[in-house]
Structures are given as C-alpha cells and as structure tokens.
C-alpha cells in the first residue's frame, strides 16, 4: 500500500513545520499535517488578505518554528522584469518581517517552488535558478540549472538530493530532469525525458528506489532514482490518449492505493503564449482555443501499468483545470473537479473499474485543494459567475458545506491551499498578487 506523506517524517524536510514543502509532501497527496479546522455549529470562516506590489506573482507559503514564509516571482507578460523573492510574514497580519534579496531567474516568469530543509535552510526554484537561503533570508548559494528554461517542482529524494524538471509546452521537444545536491548546489545528474512535460511530477519513495511519475501530452511514464542514478523504467508506462477525443495534456499527478492519479484537459487558453515565449512568460498573453473534450480522471496501477481506469465524472464538453485530483487512501475517496464547467464531486473507489458517486456540487474549484485527515474536511475555492472567489470547506464523504467566505480575490492564477498554524490555512490569487488567510471564527 502506498505510504502516506502526512503519516511519515518527511525525511530531509524541516520537522517543526506544518508545511515544509508544497502539496503535503513529495507524493503530492495534499493531506495536511496540522489538525483540521474542525468547524463547529455557530462558527464561521473569515479571511484576512494582503495585496503585494503590482507585477508580483504570489505563489505559496511554507513555515518553520511557527514562522511563515511567502515565496513568489514575477507575473508573466513582463519582458523586462523577472525576479524570485521570499518574505517572512506575520502569520496573522501578513505584514512583512524580513525579505530576501531579489533572486535571479534567468529571465523566465513562471511560478516556482520552495521548501524548508531539515538543516534550517530554504531552497527555492525560479526559472532556471536554484537558491539556498537561511531562515533569516540571507542568500547562501545559487545554482544555474543546465536547461535554460522555466522549471517547476523541487522535490527531495530519499538520499537528500533534490530533483526538478523544466516545463515544455512544445510537443516536439523534450523536458529534462536535473538532480542536484542541496548541500553543495552542484548538479548530480541530468536526464532527458521521453517527451514534453508540464504538470508537476510526484516522487514515490519505495524500497526499490524512488519512483518519479511524470506525464507527456499523451502518456504517463516512470523514472527510477537509486544510487544517484536516474533512468526511465522501460517496463512501466500508460497512454491516456483516447481515440477521436479533442483532449489536452495532464497537469500534476499524485499517488495513492498503489495507483497514480491525474486529470487530462490541463491546457488552459493562456498557457501556450506563456510557455512558448523565450524567455518563458515574457510576451503578451493571448488566449488559444480550448479543446472540446470533458475532463477525465485517469488511474494507472503502480504495480502493473496495464491496469488502468478512466472516469468521466461530469461528462461536460470543454472541460478544464490547472491542478490534480485529491485521492484519500484512508477512505478510498477520489475528489475531482472541472473548473470551466463549475463542477466538483467525490467518488468512492471500490477497486479497478468500480467508482461509486458520493456527491456532485456546482463548485468551480481552481485550486490545489487541501485535505485534513483528522476531520475529513476539504478546503477548496469556488470561482463564482462574476469571477470573484469564495473559500469553501466541505466534508469529503457527505459533501456537506461546513463553511464559506468571500476571499476578496478574483480568478487569475489560483495556486494552492497551504496548512496554517492554528485552525487556519493560506492561499493566493497568484498573478493578482494577493495572499489570504482563511481562519475559523
């Protein structure tokens, strides 16, 4: 059975933290390590927010020793401005306590990542640069990655090395994985992938090595990392390309119940002009035509890639999203959504080919959701008809709405919900430059 990140020590990451890395851990299971919101009768959700300077893309938060850090970069479409940045904020008021120097990106404007490591350093990845900082945000070292392109996803491997990969929207090109040493910031391994890849990969550490799952526009593949060597698993891959369907590529993936889970229809209209510019994100945005297929969830067994499932949850054309599904192994529940068609729902996975619908709501989630295992609460957002955004808390089994509040943000570039410190969580309206805190009152 797949190990749960929230139940493990997350070796290599900072231990006194509810959120030392994105999506709850390297398997991207999005399970919080902190206690749930546990909303009771008579309690409500409230929001405080902060808008950053124009042109700043607010990506996400990490924390250590009850200290909150926000990281971000420059909004796409800026040809002359490209920086990464980290700030320490007051976790309640969101005011700045300290800030890093401007971090170089190689000129690429795309949301990066950050993590707090066990030694008390912060690693960031923006564009084609990796930076190492102290918790007081002093710059220690910088690495220029071998591929001059935007990267996303920085994940620790079992031996303490870190892995990243550049994004490639052009289907005729191939992405490259780079493994680097977090102590020396030296490249250890560089491996060309089998195709173009955009969605954030996940890592599943096992006794046989670290399995790295990543998609191309038509397939999902697995690489094996062991003894500082990274190779393609020739015995494991699966197609998600369906005949006569006007599909687009899968975004991020996650693992649970000895399966990898992901959704197609991830190529939303502005991505082509952002990702195919050089440097990435430096040209004016234009909106390409959407593909016409519905959103589908794909499951591939991690032990036998011939064992696959395809679930069409809502059966609505012109589906779209920028995220990955949530799979709750403890309850065998899959939560999925279609942002374009304002649908979110949950299904019980009873085994290969057997999905039981639990509930479906008219909710246009645009975010990476957050799940609290101790309370069964899921935090998601809802893009309303006027494009304003609510934060919503739902019971994953019943679909009961336990709380809702306006965030004061609008649709552009929702990112993820991140665990907070005390019955709260954080999220952003990235390209709009807003960070907000959702808390129980």
**213/259 Cα distance (integer angstroms):** 11
**57/188 Cα distance (integer angstroms):** 30
Task: Find the CATH number of the domain harbouring 372.
Answer: 2.130.10.10
Number of domains comprising the chain: 1
Residue found by looking up tokens 């009771």 in the block: 40
Q: What is the DSSP string of 299-310?
A: EEESS-TT-EEE
- Per residue in 336-358, pLDDT (tens digit) is 999 999 999 999 999 999 999 99
Closest to 177 in 3D by CA, of 218, 126, 207, 213: 213
pTM of the complete model = 0.97
In the chain, which stretches have pLDDT less than 70?
Answer: 412-414
Task: Say what the pLDDT of residue 290 is.
Answer: 85
- Per residue in 251-286, pLDDT (tens digit) is 999 999 999 999 999 998 888 889 899 999 999 888
Q: What is residue 329's three-state secondary structure? A: coil
Q: Taking a C-beta distance cutoff of 8 angstroms, is the pair 28, 254 a contact?
A: yes
Full domain range(s) for residue 71: 5-440
Task: Say what the pLDDT of residue 413 is.
Answer: 59
């Amino acid at each position: 059975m797949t190990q749960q990140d929230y139940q493990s020590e997350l070796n290599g990451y900072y231990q006194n933290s509810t959120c030392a890395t994105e999506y709850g851990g390297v398997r991207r299971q999005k399970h919080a390590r902190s206690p749930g919101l546990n909303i009771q009768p008579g309690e409500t959700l409230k929001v405080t927010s902060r808008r950053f300077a124009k042109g700043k893309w607010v990506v996400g938060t990490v924390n250590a020793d009850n200290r909150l850090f926000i990281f971000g970069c420059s909004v796409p479409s800026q040809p002359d401005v490209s920086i990464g940045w980290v700030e320490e904020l007051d976790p309640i008021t969101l005011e700045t306590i300290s800030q890093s120097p401007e971090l170089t990106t190689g000129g690429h404007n795309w949301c990066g990542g950050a993590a707090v490591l066990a030694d008390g350093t912060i690693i960031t990845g923006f564009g084609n640069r990796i930076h190492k900082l102290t918790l007081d945000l002093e710059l220690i070292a910088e690495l220029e990655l071998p591929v001059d392109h935007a990267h996303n996803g920085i994940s620790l491997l079992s031996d303490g090395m870190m892995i990243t990969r550049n994004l490639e929207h052009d289907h005729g090109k191939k992405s490259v994985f780079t493994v680097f040493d977090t102590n020396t910031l030296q490249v250890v391994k560089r491996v060309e992938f089998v195709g173009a890849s955009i969605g954030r990969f996940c890592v599943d550490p096992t006794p046989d090595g670290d399995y790295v799952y990543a998609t191309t526009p038509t397939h999902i593949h697995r690489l094996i990392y062991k003894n500082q060597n990274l190779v393609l698993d020739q015995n494991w891959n699966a197609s998600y390309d369906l005949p006569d369907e006007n599909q687009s590529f899968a975004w991020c993936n996650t693992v649970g119940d000895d399966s990898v889970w992901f959704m197609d229809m991830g190529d939303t209209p502005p991505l082509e002009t952002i990702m195919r510019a050089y440097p990435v994100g430096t040209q004016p945005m234009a909106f390409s035509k959407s593909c016409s297929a519905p959103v589908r969830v794909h499951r591939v067994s991690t032990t036998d890639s011939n064992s696959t499932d395809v679930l069409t949850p809502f059966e609505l054309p012109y589906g779209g999203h920028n995220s990955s599904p949530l799979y709750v192994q403890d309850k065998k529940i899959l939560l999925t959504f279609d942002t374009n068609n304002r649908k979110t729902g949950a299904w019980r996975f009873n085994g290969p080919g057997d999905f039981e619908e639990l509930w479906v709501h008219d909710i246009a989630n645009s975010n990476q959701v957050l799940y609290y295992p101790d309370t069964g609460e899921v935090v998601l957002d809802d893009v309303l008809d006027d494009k304003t955004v609510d934060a919503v808390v739902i019971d994953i089994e019943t679909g009961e709405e336990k709380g809702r509040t306006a965030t004061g943000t609008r649709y552009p570039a929702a990112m993820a919900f991140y665990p907070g410190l005390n019955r709260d969580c954080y999220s952003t309206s990235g390209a709009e430059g807003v960070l907000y805190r959702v808390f129980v009152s």
